[in-house]
Amino acid sequence: MKTLYIEPGAPWENAYSSETFIGRLRDELLERELFANLKEAQVLLEDYRDHYNRKRPHGALGYLTPAEFAAIEALRRQSSVPSEQLKSVQRLSL
């Protein structure tokens, strides 16, 4: 058995990720909102996308937000500090 490469931006190659995102989108937005028109739906979906991609802690990133994860990775690359010590860096969000 070996791992397969999944092209970035190709979620259809990883059904679990797609199903997880679609389920969360449905539970957290679509089933809670009544959209008055298409423009309102577009604005709310864009807000949700921004929150999901930039502000929400992700389990795959150690429950850090993408911004926190990127900042820690940048620190790790710039210094010789072991990654265990970087875990104690103050988080930007809870």
pTM: 0.55
Q: How many residues does the chain have?
A: 94
Residues of the chain with pLDDT under 70: 1-18, 80-94
Tell me: do 16 and 49 sit in the same domain: yes
Tell me: do 50 and 23 sit in the same domain: yes
Neighbours of 41 (CB within 10 A): 15
Two structure tokens written together for 41 = 């739906």
Tell me: do 42 and 72 sit in the same domain: no
Whether the Cβ atoms of residue 11 and residue 4 lie closer than 8 Å to each other: no
Alpha-carbon distance of 29 to 31, in angstroms, equals 6
- Computed from CA positions of residues 74, 66, 49, 23, in that sequence, does the dihedral angle turn out positive or negative? positive
Alpha-carbon distance of 88 to 10, in angstroms, equals 34
Return the pLDDT at 91. 57
For 85, the domain range is 58-94
